[in-house]
Amino acid sequence: MTIDDPALPAVGALSGPAAADVLRPAVVAAGGTLHDATCVQIHYVPGRELVVRYDCDISWGPRRGRDTLLAATTAHGPLPGTLAVTAETPSTTLHASVWRWPYDPVLTGLPLAASPAALADHLGHLATGPLRVHVVAYHPTDRAIVRATDGTGRTLYVKVLPPARVGQVAAKHHALGAGGVPVPEVLATDEANGLLVLPAMPGSTLRDRIKSGHPSPVDPSSLAQLVHRVTATPAAAGRAPGRAPRTEDALGHTRLLATIAPGHRATLALLDQRFGAAMADVERRVGPLVHGDLHEAQLFVDDSGTVAGLIDLDDLGPGDPLDDPAVLLGHLEYRSIVTADGSTRAVLRRLITDLRDRFTPLHGARALDLTIAAVLVGLASGPFRIQTPDWPRLTADVLAVATSYATGTGPAATAPSRARG
């Protein structure tokens, strides 16, 4: 599909079939030849910014192979450290910023972290022998996670951040660790390059335990205790500004969804009304420390089902205490919708029911369910962002479950019957 955004006129060119024409001048200027480009990921905030990742077929002299290029257009103009591309149309001028992986204009330490030799030198005594490096996650201009395994088999994780954020994130680890929350110890920081070095956590992620079909992937009481420990940590100790509540975030996500999936505008208007009506209550709740992104891939669980580790503290800050349980339940609902495996879905349904029963007396069913709906609205654009072939159908399925939570017609709604991969 091609997106039309008057505030960002280059959006249509970067997200549509003409993207290769935008990238080609940048590749030529760098000495290459672009043969093909396929969009594989889109980050879009209507009226503010679009960042697109492309899998490309490029020749650099005699060498031809796959490469990753990224392009962005923002309301604030070109990004420093990128190759600016400008195109004139009959009605306007299009501006885009193009860069090649791993030379992210904001994550300036990414080339170092992605190079086994350079990273081994940088880690010094923390690693022994040659490194094997794997990029676990990359969110352009925001963060990246690199897994590094040394010659002894020891695994470290290197978080790459905008340099100014390293000290803030390290302080969050120290604050939660002092409060008894099992978070990774900060082994080293490099504020010049924007790097944070962390150890591997014990156990396996809750997501992996669910995927394995484990009948009891986690002890619900252990999860509830973890959420309580986070909110019991003094908010000032997090040294972080407050984060927007999920209910407020959802109002922005409905605008995005109305742009990419206009056929659902009536449903989105209903959801907007429900979220808007709840904002006064949400604002009264805001205050305690919340993790901010507490989903199943952030939780490590040991063989007894006890939570043994919590990772990714970037969003930690004062917020809505319903957000953490709602994010967890919303992600589990999303996983239930998209999974193609019946036994995995059964595990998810049991866990969702157990956790919702445990959190409801603390927060009230109506407020909790509406916050879960807000989380699901945020997740509904996920298939579009990663360009899943049947993303319109998946988005419709997620919105249907979100609506059931928001309207009270089925808080533990089962996933649609069509199995998904």
Which of 153, 176, 199 delimits the end of a domain? 199
Section 26-54 average pLDDT = 94
| Residue 259 belongs to some domain of the structure | yes
Which CATH number covers residue 269? 3.90.1200.10
Q: Do 152 and 234 belong to one domain?
A: no
Q: Do 123 and 173 belong to one domain?
A: yes
pLDDT given for residue 81 in this prediction: 92
* 305 pLDDT above the threshold of 60: yes
398: number of Cβ within 10 Å? 25
Q: Do 127 and 220 belong to one domain?
A: no
Phi first, then psi, for residue 325 (nearest 5°) are -65, -35
What distance in Å separates the CA atoms of residue 74 and residue 298, rounded to the nearest whole number? Answer: 30
What distance in Å separates the CA atoms of residue 362 and residue 163, rounded to the nearest whole number? Answer: 39
Residues 408, 349, 368, 248: is their CA dihedral positive or negative? Answer: negative
What distance in Å separates the CA atoms of residue 310 and residue 260, rounded to the nearest whole number? Answer: 34
Q: Do 36 and 132 belong to one domain?
A: no
| Residue 105 belongs to some domain of the structure | no
* 65 pLDDT above the threshold of 60: yes
| Tokens (6 digits) for 116 | 């086994």
Contact between 145 and 158 under an 8 Å Cβ cutoff? The reply is: yes
Q: 92-127 burial string, b = 16+ CB within 10 Å, else e?
A: eebbbbbbbbbebbbbbbbbbbbbeeebbebbeeeb
| Residue 415 belongs to some domain of the structure | no
Which of 179, 199, 219 delimits the end of a domain? 199
Confidence of residue 91 (pLDDT cuts 50, 70, 90): confident
pLDDT given for residue 411 in this prediction: 52
What does the mean pLDDT of the chain come to? 92
Section 297-319 average pLDDT = 95
Helices (H), 56-189: 110-113, 116-123, 166-178
Contact between 39 and 107 under an 8 Å Cβ cutoff? The reply is: no
Which CATH number covers residue 168? 3.30.200.20
Instruction: Tell me the per-residue pLDDT of 161-186, one tens digit each, with 9 for 90 and over.
Output: 999 999 999 999 999 999 899 999 99
Which of 68, 100, 132 delimits the end of a domain? 100
Instruction: Tell me the per-residue pLDDT of 194-229, one tens digit each, with 9 for 90 and over.
Output: 999 999 999 999 999 998 888 889 999 999 999 999
| Residue 2 belongs to some domain of the structure | no
Section 232-244 average pLDDT = 70
* 239 pLDDT above the threshold of 60: no
Q: Do 55 and 162 belong to one domain?
A: no
Confidence of residue 1 (pLDDT cuts 50, 70, 90): low
| Residue 420 belongs to some domain of the structure | no
Q: Do 177 and 193 belong to one domain?
A: yes
Q: What domain count does the chain have?
A: 3
| Residue 65 belongs to some domain of the structure | yes
Full residue range of the structural domain in which residue 364 is found: 204-407
